[in-house]
Amino acid sequence: MHRRSALADDTAGHPGGGLSYSGWLSLGKRVLAAGSAILDKEKGSTYRMNTENPKRYSFDLGPIRPPSEGRDFSLLIRATRNCPWNRCEFCSIYKDKKFEYRSVEEIKQDIDIARDISEEIKAASWRLGQGGRITNEVAVAIIQSTPEVYGQDLVETEDLAARIHSLVNVANWLASGAKTVFLQDANTLIMRPPELIEVLKYLKETFPTIERITSYARSKTAAQRSLEELKALHQAGLSRLHIGLESGSDDVLREMQKGVTAEEHIAGGRKIVESGISLSEYVMPGLGGKRWSESHAKETARVLNHIDPAFIRIRSLIVRESEPLHRKVESGEFEPLTEDEVVAEIGLLIENLNCNSYVVSDQMSNLLLEVEGQLPHDKKRMLDIINRYSGMPPEKRLNFRLNRRLRSYLAVYGGMEQDLNEMVQQAFESIKSGSTDAEAKVDQAILALKGGFM
């Protein structure tokens, strides 16, 4: 069961996990609005943040984390900045950014700041009569009582957003039990093992409540590490690694400039599993397009069967204008699958899986979020879900797709701009009336909705 926080955090169900600066400012305003009415009723419930000694009120935070780390409200600590590979055709997250190797001292300083913020939050809770509970009122009190730190008229926009981001991240982490940490950014395993071990140990010394530390990694980097090094990292506290396998097809990996081969995926994955570190492998249905759809599914299953990771996480391809792959779509070099074809490809993948992994469909890019379960026990049930969808009449599938995508969008944004709302309503009307262009209108609306997915 996932622990839920009392605070408002828009990234709780957001697969990308990153809000823009304006997004964090908006979140801060809503935290204030949620708690100010309660505070007004609490006569004498004031809290003054200690600002006597010069210190930082935010720590470095990267743009993304896995959905599971968002649901568990993991503390985010940035071990490296951006991506050392940064050439994948389907990703634009770090395209305009340079990879930076952070020093152990830099990382430790951020851990210290997170500790200071956590102590401030806990002190505020007790002084406000909350008995150690981390609630909206506590965050509001900290923000309202310290305008020189959190005042919109006194602090530069980017600094204010970073401070709110850090405050909310730590507060939600405390409210959820302060048990999980995620090391950002794209490939923490690239750190020199002794330095990463030092960071892991410092984290656990600083926060004794930590039970799990996780991070992203690349298969190629894992394959280059010795089994002894990986075991040492596990012993120091590294609990789980998330790897973007994406595909087990060498054709697809080469076309998408993934920078790794199927055999390197297997070598790196097997080492991680043998070290005792829990492994989550991400696969991307649709990445082979129409040209390689079948081999993409079957070869990905073959690689996963060799690795036998703890988790197989499905994140279906969404092509965005900011990604290099978009140019190939426009030129006709890459022909994307329809949503129904992606569902069929996932079915082919699962049909060919013969391992003991837990399949997870926890990304909003996926149409059938219900396709989840433990292999081999739940294999038939997952295939039955896919077959039931595929067996629906065309108009029911259209209605299902549009409703599912709309709910995912609203779960993040709460509402729609007028143009998008009109497009969606026209798509629903076309289904209802049985219009010959219903499918085209639904696809257009879904494409627009997906533009807001992370």
Q: How confident is the model at residue 363 (pLDDT cuts 50, 70, 90)?
A: confident
User: 273: closest CA among 316, 354, 217?
Assistant: 217
> Based on the domain organization, do 380 and 402 belong to the same domain?
no
Residue 246 lies in a domain: yes
Dist. CA 293–CA 291, nearest whole Å = 6
What value, to the nearest 5°, has the Cα angle with vertex 434 and ends 433 and 440? 110
Backbone dihedral region of 180: left (phi > 0), alpha (psi from -120 to 50 degrees) or beta? beta
- Specify the range with the lowest mean pLDDT, choosing from 118-127, 131-140, 253-262, 423-432: 131-140
> Based on the domain organization, do 317 and 437 belong to the same domain?
no
Residue 33 lies in a domain: no
The domain boundary residue, chosen from 390, 412, 439: 390
Q: Using one digit for the tens of pLDDT, what is the confidence trace for 155-214?
A: 888 888 899 999 999 999 999 999 999 999 999 999 999 999 999 999 999 999 999 999
> Based on the domain organization, do 381 and 430 belong to the same domain?
no
Residue 339 lies in a domain: yes
Contact 133/174 with Cβ under 8 angstroms?
no
> Based on the domain organization, do 353 and 437 belong to the same domain?
no
> Based on the domain organization, do 324 and 417 belong to the same domain?
no
> Based on the domain organization, do 352 and 439 belong to the same domain?
no
Residue 145 lies in a domain: no
428 Cβ contact partners less than 8 Å away, ≥ 6 residues apart: 399, 402
Residue 285 lies in a domain: yes
Q: How confident is the model at residue 412 (pLDDT cuts 50, 70, 90)?
A: confident
- What's the domain count of the chain? 2
CATH number at residue 377: 3.20.20.70
Q: What pLDDT does 23 receive?
A: 46
> Based on the domain organization, do 341 and 424 belong to the same domain?
no
The domain boundary residue, chosen from 347, 372, 390: 390
Residue 194 lies in a domain: yes
> Based on the domain organization, do 192 and 93 belong to the same domain?
yes
pLDDT surpassing 80 at residue 354 = yes
Residue 435 lies in a domain: yes
The whole-chain average pLDDT of the chain stands at 89
Q: What pLDDT does 413 receive?
A: 86
Q: E-strand spans in 168-324?
A: 180-184, 212-217, 238-246, 278-283, 311-314
Contact 5/177 with Cβ under 8 angstroms?
no
> Based on the domain organization, do 260 and 219 belong to the same domain?
yes
> Based on the domain organization, do 377 and 417 belong to the same domain?
no
The domain boundary residue, chosen from 365, 390, 415: 390
**Between residues 136 and 62, the one the model is more confident about:** 62
Task: Report CA dihedral (267, 271, 274, 278) to the nearest 10 degrees.
Answer: -110
> Based on the domain organization, do 358 and 423 belong to the same domain?
no
**Range(s) of the domain holding residue 260:** 54-116+172-390
Dist. CA 157–CA 167, nearest whole Å = 15
User: pTM (2 decimals)?
Assistant: 0.88
Residue 252 lies in a domain: yes
> Based on the domain organization, do 204 and 337 belong to the same domain?
yes
